[in-house]
């Protein structure tokens, strides 16, 4: 459970770092959502590779 929360936290931080400048540039909401989900899911894939 702790590894799941850590991975989720890493994804949230990465997503926010990527999306905040995009929001400031007034990009499309679908682009913002896509980038956030990408950075949210990517750590789960990376940390599960053996």
pLDDT per position as a tens digit, 4-45 = 999 999 999 999 999 999 999 999 999 999 999 999 999 999
What pLDDT band is residue 1 in, cutting at 50, 70 and 90? Answer: confident
CB-based contact 2:39 (threshold 8 Å): no
Q: What are the structure tokens assigned to 38, written together?
A: 């990408």
Provide the pLDDT for residue 50.
Answer: 79
Residues 6+ apart with CB under 8 A from 35: 15, 18, 19, 22
Provide the pLDDT for residue 29.
Answer: 92
Cβ of 9: how many Cβ atoms within 10 Å?
Answer: 11
């Amino acid at each position: 459970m702790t590894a799941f929360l850590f991975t989720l936290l890493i994804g949230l931080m990465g997503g926010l770092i990527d999306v905040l400048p995009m929001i400031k540039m007034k990009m499309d909401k679908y682009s913002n959502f896509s980038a956030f989900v990408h950075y949210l899911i990517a750590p789960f894939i990376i940390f599960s590779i053996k």
